[in-house]
Amino acid sequence: MNKFESIRLKLNLEFNPIGIRLIYEHDKDIKIDPIFKDINKHEGYCEYVKRASHGEFLKIKKGDFSCKIANMALGFQESDNLELTMKLDIKGLKYILLFPINKYKLEDYDSIILILNPRNCMNIIRAYVRLYHKPLKITCGAINGACSEVTAYVIKRNEVNFSFLCPNSRENGTFDDCDLLCGIPAQLADDMINEIINIPKPLKLKAHMY
């Protein structure tokens, strides 16, 4: 069993963990597995994330987004209005690969996204504090959504972050009311996953009669 399947089982996740791999124009020697499919219908980035969590392997490029914010946050379109920390401003981005990382071995990835409930979030924060001995400071709301808060920010800052998602992803039914997202950069993933898997179960408190 791989580590990503282990964390899915540990947190009892309903959806597969999503892997993210950025492919640049200068990556001439990288051959993309044919299992990754081109987009044939424009959707929001959050919708692509959800599709990957259901098991799809997606190859996304400039122009595949129905959402303008996603195009800018992920570096496919210039904008001076987005905070620099919340967008990928790396030149030459060609593709974004989204895939169920627990079902496909790809050693060189950039980050993962987990679709969580509040209890899962509590355990991830608990693991982070135990591991790094400091509070987890999150950045939400500057530019909100899966594209900025748990993709661009996480990869660019090399830090764990959460997203309460954007209004469109709730209203169009892509995510339920209780869904939250967590992004973990590849550099921290192994340690974070190991810590999460080893979190002890809380002690059951005995009820007292008064």
Instruction: Report how far residue 68's alpha carbon sits from residue 179's, in angstroms, rounded to the nearest whole number.
Output: 23
Query: What's the mean per-residue pLDDT of the chain?
Result: 89
Model pLDDT for residues 154-180, shown as the tens digit of each residue: 999 999 999 999 888 888 888 999 999
At 123, list the tokens: 């355990």
Model pLDDT for residues 112-166, shown as the tens digit of each residue: 999 999 999 999 999 999 999 999 999 998 778 899 999 999 999 999 999 999 8
Of 12 and 173, the structure prediction assigns the larger pLDDT to 12
Taking alpha carbons only, the member of 21, 66, 48, 79 closest to residue 146 is 48
Length of the chain: 210
Taking alpha carbons only, the member of 195, 124, 133 closest to residue 154 is 124
**What is the secondary structure of the chain as a DSSP string?**
--HHHHHHHHTT-SSPPEEEEEEETT-TTPPPPTTSEEP-S-B-HHHHHHHHHTT--EEE-TT-BS-HHHHHHTTSS--SSS-GGGS---TTEEEEEEEEGGGS--SS--EEEEEE-HHHHHHHHHHHHHHHSS------SSS-STTIIIIIHHHHHT--EEE---HHHHHTSSS-TT-EEEEEEHHHHHHHHHHHHTPPPPPPPPP---
Give pTM, 2 decimals.
0.91
In degrees, to the nearest 5, what angle opens at C-alpha 8 toward C-alphas 183 and 196? 70
Q: Give yes or no for a contact between 186 and 163, defined as CB atoms under 8 angstroms apart.
A: no
Taking alpha carbons only, the member of 108, 59, 56, 111 closest to residue 88 is 111
Asked if the model's pLDDT at residue 26 lies above 90, the reply is no
Model pLDDT for residues 58-87, shown as the tens digit of each residue: 999 988 988 888 888 887 877 666 666 677
